[in-house]
Amino acid sequence: MNSIPSKYVYVFGASRTEGAADMKNLLGGKGANLAEMCRLGITVPAGFTISTEACTAYTELGREAVQERLQTEVRAGIAFIEQEMDKRFGDAADPMLLSVRSGARASMPGMMDTILNLGLNDEAVLGLARQANNERFAWDSYRRFVQGYGDVVMGLKPVSKEEHDPFEVIIDVLKEQRGVQLDTELDSDDLKELVQRFKALIRARLGCDFPTDPWEQLWGAVWAVFDSWNGDRARAYRELNDIPQSWGTAVNVQAMVFGNLGETSATGVAFSRDAGTGEDLFNGEFLVNAQGEDVVAGIRTPQQISLVGSRRWAELALVSEEERLGKYPSLEELMPEIYAQLLHAETTLEKHFKDMQDIEFTIQAGKLWMLQTRTGKRTGAAMVRIAMEMLQQGMIDEKIALLRVSPDRLNELLHPVFDPKALTAAEPIARGLPASPGAATGQIVFFADEAEAWSRQGKAVILVRQETSPEDLRGMSAARGILTARGGMTSHAAVVARGMGKCCVSGAGAVHVDLKARTMTVMDAAYHEGDWISLDGSTGEVFAGQIPTVDAQLSGDFGALMALADRYKRLEVRANADTPQEAGIARALGATGIGLCRTEHMFFEGERIVAVREMILADDEAGRRRALAKLLPMQRGDFEGLFREMDGLPVTIRLLDPPLHEFVPHDEASQRVMAQDMRVPLSKIRMRVEELHEFNPMMGHRGCRLGISYPEITEMQVRAVFEAGLNIQAQGVVVKAEIMVPLVGTVREFDAQAEVIRRVAAMVFAERGETLPYLLGTMIETPRATLIAEHLAKQADFFSFGTNDLTQMTLGFSRDDAGKFFPDYRKQGIYERDPFRTIDQEGVGMLVQMAVENGRAARPDLEIGVCGEHGGDPVSVAFFHRAGLDYVSCSPYRVPIARLAAAQAAVQG
Amino acid sequence: MNSIPSKYVYVFGASRTEGAADMKNLLGGKGANLAEMCRLGITVPAGFTISTEACTAYTELGREAVQERLQTEVRAGIAFIEQEMDKRFGDAADPMLLSVRSGARASMPGMMDTILNLGLNDEAVLGLARQANNERFAWDSYRRFVQGYGDVVMGLKPVSKEEHDPFEVIIDVLKEQRGVQLDTELDSDDLKELVQRFKALIRARLGCDFPTDPWEQLWGAVWAVFDSWNGDRARAYRELNDIPQSWGTAVNVQAMVFGNLGETSATGVAFSRDAGTGEDLFNGEFLVNAQGEDVVAGIRTPQQISLVGSRRWAELALVSEEERLGKYPSLEELMPEIYAQLLHAETTLEKHFKDMQDIEFTIQAGKLWMLQTRTGKRTGAAMVRIAMEMLQQGMIDEKIALLRVSPDRLNELLHPVFDPKALTAAEPIARGLPASPGAATGQIVFFADEAEAWSRQGKAVILVRQETSPEDLRGMSAARGILTARGGMTSHAAVVARGMGKCCVSGAGAVHVDLKARTMTVMDAAYHEGDWISLDGSTGEVFAGQIPTVDAQLSGDFGALMALADRYKRLEVRANADTPQEAGIARALGATGIGLCRTEHMFFEGERIVAVREMILADDEAGRRRALAKLLPMQRGDFEGLFREMDGLPVTIRLLDPPLHEFVPHDEASQRVMAQDMRVPLSKIRMRVEELHEFNPMMGHRGCRLGISYPEITEMQVRAVFEAGLNIQAQGVVVKAEIMVPLVGTVREFDAQAEVIRRVAAMVFAERGETLPYLLGTMIETPRATLIAEHLAKQADFFSFGTNDLTQMTLGFSRDDAGKFFPDYRKQGIYERDPFRTIDQEGVGMLVQMAVENGRAARPDLEIGVCGEHGGDPVSVAFFHRAGLDYVSCSPYRVPIARLAAAQAAVQG
């Protein structure tokens, strides 16, 4: 809010319209589209929109600051509606009634519900009855208005969780007294009685009368919309959906039309294409003689709009054609003329907006009024199909087709989801972070080895842990899904699960795991080993019991979309993959290289961990070398597999990164086992584990610091790389190795490791009499590395931003600990996005940009990529595109998402 | 080394001199000063210096790269010496002998020892005997040469630690055979025999002959000097003393003169002022008929140079005036003419160099030759006195006087030190970090409460811990010194000890603490509770047994120096102080404010910790508020004390910073006690402690993140500040409160806390009807804060850089864990300085500068300070001066150091 805007109120109607579709920021989505429909000549009840700027001024400066200007403009707006509709607001004899609706830029549940029939009072209801020649209709409208306004505007809510909606209680009591079952069985006197009782309730509970002045009613509704923008539910929704608190909402005030004036009236919703599958089929639902809310309420079975849709519905609902035609005819059959108008409007709108439309309409006494049009929500699969079909139909061009698909929604195509029918009934028992997408259902196990064992017996299991560690890898692999009580979006469980494409919910704080008792407790409910639970890794929800899942299927449209994306994107997309299996998935999903192979993940399998621990326990370099010699052939084998799988594509290998204490057990029982296995005294293991203890392991003895202390580790690892490369190259495979030094902070650190790597390379090449081209680069993950990028670029062939660690260090946030305070931060709007999911452009992004600029200044052909979790986040991918990176690397299942995001970034320039 | 220098060899002598004193970087200190003496007309044996550039080229490019050029120039240099001294190198009849010495920019032990008498062989020794008319002298010279050259150049060292020096073994055997005690009792035949046996040993051990060719001898010596620059000891010394590996050493080749040609010959060292006290007294020591090494060897008692010095010596040594005159006459008495020449040379040199000189000379057959002059090493006290007296004497101006004192050496004046006499005999049993200066001796205790108890019984105790925690505060305060096995220079023990001005050695890795057995083990030796040990917190040394200490005394010169410093410095110096007591010390040491009051240090005393724990255990905000209400009066009392003590000066108060788990016990025993004390079940405490666990506490739920989650903590703390301020202001004291929000990373974090602080301020002022001026600022300690400095400066009155955390996060180093790899890093030259002691200018410094520039751009009058440990480090203080900060803040005992460093920075511009 830099200056006072010139106006707050924008009218729309048949004769004059001030708004338009491109004014969404100012008028909200609903308001802008109502105006656009008027411009297209579609019949819409006249109205006006109070702009979002008024809401922002109201929030920031208070009601007084906007009231005066707004009153003048609103009065003019009402006068406009009166003229258009040829009725008078507050005219008791023939009242013009209004609807008041909120309408933000983005569709947003949690905002104020619609207020209908505003303008009614004890006198006007009589006028309405006379005009409509329908007393029951008038009193029902009044009843609905008092109930809605009392709840939404006046705030008469249940006083406790136990209490039912008090208005509904009053209705139930009256129905009991009248001996009827349905609201529709109440007659106009009953409705009149209800209005009286509602008003009495309001007076008793709120200590004030229900407002009878239509203007007072209107202002109450307007302020309530503004207040609802700042309500808890709306705030919570915005946090979840990354909507800035500063946008504000618009208010739409519009003349009422009625779908409940008799058998020639109706109300309904329609979609220009199928929201579930994307099929190009116009259909929807309607109810004769009903108001909009009745369609949603689900008391009467709605009818289908198109004949094709109606027949399909009957087939699914096991309704005979006879019964269908008799009881549930389509609008196409029932009111063919109206249907034709609707179809025309739909076609006009879809062509105009060039996207699938979700339309609300009312038929009042045989006249069609359009109440709303908006871009239709759809499933990920529908999103892809609609985009590709509209492209084929010539409705949109390639760029728009690309922009039409939300990259994140591709997840739905890549992972299993819960069967939607089964899900509606389920209530989550807990909520964690949506750490790795997909749905899974299985029996609880608490130990990784049992996950393996049960899985071998053919059972579906969910591994439930306080947190996971690398030792749990095989158990995680065997489980259908993983649930942890601790840890964030980039905790071990989350990162590994995403790599495996396996569903994971992490950091579910309400879950208490008791390993001894083999139970998990949520609130007061205990779940035992073997109990069924279900996880939704895309939402973070945890459900009790078994919920069936539906497998992913990649459609032909998906492939076409990906091919299109690849033609537009400038960024390459590599994958983070540690095994040939993961590499294979990544390649199948379109990765053009491995951007991060975490060599330590190879250290845990079977006998390897024994050799690793031998190395850690060794008293001197000679002892370490003996242990490393055992690891060499295994690691070489791993790299051979990767190189073979990635034939012709680059494979970026990061040297050992985690602190050594991650490889030793910390509990006494496991230490005893280790002591026995390795035939060393327990005390020695204890002492070494104690020595390895770190206060802040994230900033401890890890990354290249290990290689500096123990160059023999680096020697073994790069020897494995070069020997594997030569072996595979000899088989005719094109090997492109890129070796990456982690956690570099100074040029000398890089130089020291580079010297070792080049020396080993020269040795191996001399031994074999052959060479292997390779790149030697550095991770950029400490803030200091970004500051000395110019000097590093002179030494390193490439940069790879490790944005996870860079974010942690720049923000001073431990991602594993942030769960304790970050919810407070989101609630208070301190961070609008999770900086571990979407890169913090203002802080971390500034360092990235500095490093890119200074690095390229020193070496124009420097290859620059990113291998943090952000590489798979669409908003971050767009940033990396703008920052001029060469590639992003992400977990295999996010590769398609990154490809599409990269294409969108290129299209958006 | 960007280009090949024009020459490598610089001659000096009576007739021509190419070097000068200002060429130290090129010629080393020794070479530059030899040249300067020649320029001053002082008689020096002719010679030449091979420049440090030759050494650097040798190290970087190898011997071949320099050999050819060097050979030509060295031959010319030898020709020059021959001409000056009128002798021929390699002339068997009358050989010119040479000395070869290393000479780096900075004086540096660990480099190659001096080679004397180079040029002798079996023929030349006969010529020398003839010329000197002294066969024994000639053979003794030859013997010394072979022994020295064999050891230093040829590398004939003992093969094991157990073996004695093999040359000395041969001498001992011969003395045994001859039945004599002293070397001097061996005659020329014996010495001849020794030469033969030495040569035989060399042949046997090294498989090669001792070189007879003088040129071969010379080149061997030159390469040995260059090699010694890269030797382990020299590297280790450079690491310890922050000398870059790239400097290189020069080589000085000079004609030999002999102090052992009879009774008119002598050799000695002299100081232009007293090195211990700084008194303006010319004195030193000499030996008649001796070579330089004999003075150092300590076999004969040396005589004093000046009469005054000689008389003082006799008094201390209990030598009668008669005996003194007979056996130990001063040079002034013995050779008055030579003494006069020496005094003249000394006066000339001191006046010329304007600093105390340390001179080496030789008298050869009645002729005085000066061999070296250099700035004399001195104690901290002497440093101060000499600077201030030279200023009074008009020899130097104020700026030079300020620059003459190394700020760090002021420590010696501020803290007790070991009695130098007692110390010489002691050998350290272990070495840790010099965490807090001063010396302490006491009995070992392992528990803080026992430190208190023993101390109450009047015992001197040293608290020995694996590491300390805030719960140990009172025990630390009661102890004379603190020794920890873990932790760095900024560990809890180190920071707290420095604040207390108490001696501390931290991170002594060789010390194993066994709390159960109440022993500490170093190697195989065990030290039990009650055993005496002594700590030198200025060197990090740990000694067994009791070593008496000498108390600190601040001399008048110290005060004068400080007053001078204050006139020149631009930076203000504040202190980090948490108690009125510390504040008092800080003020007495010249602090002009408190730059950091860590409020959490107030949370541990007595019943406070109970209230703090109550707060932590509280289930809701109401419970927390109840506990905080108990803390309020205590915290208010603390602030009252601070404000009273700092009357008129600013007091910067940081809101609660550490994670809450620092306030709860982590071992079961203490948890049991806490459970009993607080009457809650142990399980509740366990669960809460577990909930508070953090993977990386440094980056966890701390700093303003606590205040965001629990605004009631901030409310209590600032209420205590404002109430205390108003109470004390009412007493006529001038209160200047500055409230500081820690760990800020976003503007919204600061705003959220600022809102709470301003709200509470308004409330308190309204309650009291009075106001208190205050500043509201932010710490800059996350890298992100430096990046958004411009935005923060619009909201905050001041910035205070928390460079400890900023360094940790920028470098990705945990200071508590760095001990594991940092020694490797120093050894490999990856960091030339400890970034936690001296600010990393390239990385962290860049962020500081950015933040200062951007902060001031947004708010030109922004107050900017630093309150990290770096605020007391002279090199860092100079950086902060240049960066344009307003003040530094450091622990009270470093305030004088910072004041001087600030003045030096201002003088150096």
pLDDT of residue A2: 46
- Cα distance between residue A697 and residue A662, in whole Å: 10
List CB contacts (< 8 A) between A514 and chain B. Answer: none
Distance from CA of B655 to the nearest CA of A (A): 17
pTM: 0.80
Does B840 sit within 8 Å of A787, measured CB to CB? no
Q: What order of strands is seen across the sheet that includes strand A439-445?
A: A428-431, A541-544, A532-536, A439-445, A461-465, A481-484, A503-506, A433-436
The Cα–Cα gap between A283 and A280 comes to 10
Other C-beta atoms within 10 Å of B108: how many?
21
pLDDT at A240: 66
User: With b meaning 16 or more CB within 10 Å and e meaning fewer, what string describes B679-697?
Assistant: eeeeeebeebbeebebbbb
One-letter amino acid of A824: D
Whole-angstrom Cα distance, residue A363 to residue A373?
Answer: 15
Interval A88-131: pLDDT, tens: 999 999 999 999 999 998 877 667 778 999 999 999 999 999 99
Report CA dihedral (B563, B568, B569, B570) to the nearest 10 degrees.
Answer: 130
Whole-angstrom distance, CA of residue B860 vs CA of residue B51: 49
**Of A698, A749, A846, Cβ closest to residue B787:** A846
Beta-bridge partner residues of B890: B575
CA of B695 vs chain A CAs: smallest distance (Å): 6
Minimum distance, in Å, between the CA of residue A696 and any CA atom of chain B: 4
Whether B817 sits inside 8 A of A752 (CB atoms) is: no
Task: Judge whether A597 counts as a catalytic residue.
Answer: no
Cβ separation of A696 and B697 shorter than 8 Å? Answer: yes
> Hey, what are A791's tokens?
């000097």
pLDDT of residue B498: 77
**Catalytic-role residue among A38, A55, A492, A881:** A492
Low-confidence ranges of chain B (pLDDT < 70): 1-4, 109-110, 161-162, 240, 295-299, 420-421, 423-425, 490, 553-555
What is the CB neighbour count within 10 angstroms for residue B208?
Answer: 9
pLDDT digits over A434-482, tens only? 888 889 999 999 998 899 899 988 899 999 998 888 778 888 989 999 9
How distant is the alpha carbon of residue B870 from its chain centre?
Answer: 15
Pick from A46, A114, A110: which is nearest to A80 by CA?
A46
Nearest residue of A to residue B783, measured between CA atoms: A810
Burial B534-550 (b: 16+ CB within 10 A, else e): bbbbbbbbbbbeebebe
- In this complex, the residue of A694, A830, A844 whose CB is nearest that of residue B749 is A830
Nearest CB neighbour to B743, from listed A699, A812, A844: A812
Q: How close does chain B come to A692, measured CA to CA in Å?
A: 9
Decide if B500 contacts B494 (C-beta within 8 A).
Answer: no
> Which residue of B lies nearest to A823 if distances are taken between CA atoms?
B709
CA distances from B594 to B564, B634, B736 (A): 22, 20, 10
State CA B226 to chain mean position distance: 26
Partners of residue A804 in chain B, C-beta under 8 Å = none
> B10 — phi, psi (to 5°)?
-125, 120
To which H or E segment does residue B582 belong?
helix B580-588
Q: If contacts are CB pairs under 8 Å, which of residues 705-764 in chain A contact chain B?
A: 705, 708-709, 743, 745-746, 748-749, 752
Tell me, what's the pLDDT at B318? 80
Find the angle CA(B545)-CA(B548)-CA(B550) to the nearest 5 degrees: 150
* Contact call for B840 and A784, based on CB within 8 A: yes
For A510, nearest residue in chain B (alpha carbons): B691
> Which position has the token pair 């961070």?
A831
Q: 3-state DSSP call for residue A276?
A: coil
Q: Do A782 and B812 count as a contact with CB atoms less than 8 A apart?
A: yes
Name the catalytic one among B867, B870, B881, B890: B867
pLDDT per residue as tens digits for the range A192-205 = 999 999 999 999 99
Q: Which residues of A touch B817 (CB under 8 A)?
A: 694-697, 699-701
Spatial CA neighbour of A639 closest among A654, A627, A624? A654
Closest-CA residue of chain A to B823: A709
Nearest to B824 among A695, A708, A829 (CB): A708
Which whole number is the average pLDDT over A28-34? 93
Q: How far is A381 from chain B (nearest CA, A)?
A: 39
CB distance A709–B743 less than 8 Å?
Answer: no
Name the residue among B699, B743, B825 with its Cβ closest to that of A808: B699
With contact defined as beta carbons under 8 Å apart, do B828 and B862 qualify?
no
* Residue A62 β-bridge partners: none
Q: Three-class SS string for A393-442? A: CCCCCHHHHHHCCCHHHHHHHHCCEECHHHHCCCCEEEECEEEECCEEEE
* Predicted pLDDT at A420: 67
Instruction: Give catalytic status of residue B38 as yes or no.
Output: no
- For residues B385 and B555, the answer to whether their CB atoms sit within 8 Å is yes
What 3-state DSSP class applies to A365? coil
CA dist B554 to B187, B406, B415, Å?
A: 55, 16, 10
Confidence of residue A866 (pLDDT cuts 50, 70, 90): very high
Residue of A nearest to B811 (CA): A784
- Chain B positions touching A828 (Cβ under 8 A) are 708, 748, 752
CA angle A265, A266, A269 (to 5 degrees): 155
Q: How far apart are CA B737 and CA B724, in angstroms?
A: 10
pLDDT band at A318 (very low <50, low <70, confident <90, very high): confident
Dist. CA A907–CA A909, nearest whole Å? 5
Cα gap A541→A429, rounded to integer Å = 8
Please compute Rg for chain A using Cα positions.
Answer: 32
Q: CA–CA separation, B278 vs B686, rounded Å? A: 61
Among all chains, which residue has been given the structure tokens 């029932």? A334
CB atoms within 10 A of CB B498: 26
Q: CB-based contact (8 Å) between B821 and chain A?
A: yes
Nearest to A708 among B699, B784, B825 (CB): B825
Distance between CA atoms of residues B451 and B480, nearest Å:
9
- pLDDT tens column, A231-290: 877 887 787 677 887 899 999 999 999 998 889 999 999 999 988 789 999 999 999 998
Which of A846, A801, A840 is CA-nearest to residue A822? A840
Q: Which helix (H) or strand (E) holds B773?
A: none
Q: What is the rounded average pLDDT of the residues A886-898? A: 95
CB A393 within 8 A of CB A519: no
- For residue B569, give both structure tokens: 């410095």
Q: CA of A817 to nearest chain B CA: how many angstroms apart?
A: 5
Does the pLDDT value for residue A605 go beyond 80?
Answer: no
Question: Which residues, other chains included, contact A748 with Cβ-Cβ below 8 Å and sequence gap of 6+?
Answer: B828, B829, B830
pLDDT of residue B402: 97
Instruction: Express as a percent the part of chain A with pLDDT over 70.
Output: 97
pLDDT of residue A474: 83
Q: Which of B511, B693, B810 best probes binding to A when mutated, by most A CB atoms within 10 angstroms?
A: B810
Reference B330, options B294, B290, B286; nearest CA is B286
Span B810-849, pLDDT tens digits = 999 998 888 888 888 887 888 888 899 999 999 999 999 9
Contact at CB, B812 and A781, closer than 8 angstroms: yes
pLDDT for residue A840 is more than 80? yes
- Best A820, A849, A850, A854 member to test B by mutation, with max B CBs in 10 Å, is A820
**Strand-strand pairing, B798-801 and B863-866:** parallel
B728 CA to centre of own chain: 42
Q: Does A814 touch chain B (CB under 8 A)?
A: yes
Tell whether the model's pLDDT for residue A895 goes beyond 80. yes
Nearest to A696 among B696, B784, B829 (CB): B696
For chain A, percent of residues with pLDDT exceeding 90: 69
DSSP, res B248: -
Asked whether the beta carbons of residue B708 and residue A825 sit closer than 8 angstroms, the reply is yes
Please give the DSSP secondary-structure letter assigned to residue A350.
Answer: H
**Chain B residues with CB inside 8 Å of A809's CB?**
699, 783, 809-810, 812
CB B562 within 8 A of CB B869: no
Tell me which chain B residue has its CA closest to the CA of residue A832. Answer: B748
Per-residue confidence (pLDDT) for residue A373, from 0 to 100: 93
Whole-number Å distance between alpha carbons of B327 and A658: 71
Taking residues A292-303, what's their average pLDDT?
A: 71
Tens of pLDDT, residue by residue over A134-171, are 999 999 999 999 999 999 899 888 777 667 788 988 99
Residue A7 has pLDDT above 60, yes or no: yes
- Asked if A752's CB is within 8 angstroms of B809's CB, the reply is no
Distance in Å, alpha carbon of A866 to nearest chain B alpha carbon:
19
Question: What DSSP string describes B449-507?
Answer: HHHHHHHHTT--EEEEESS--GGGHHHHHHSSEEEESS--TTSHHHHHHHHHT-EEEE-
Greater confidence (A566 vs A415) lies with: A566
Q: Which of A699, A806, A849 is the best substitution to test chain B (most B C-beta atoms within 10 A)?
A: A699
Q: Which of A745, A810, A821 sits opposite B705 (nearest CB)?
A: A821
Sign for the pseudo-dihedral over CA of A740, A743, A746, A749: negative
Cβ separation A843–B748 shorter than 8 A: no
- More reliable by pLDDT, A471 or A561: A561
The token pair at B810 is 């920028």
Chain B residue with Cα closest to A485: B691
Beta carbons of B810 and A743 less than 8 Å apart: no
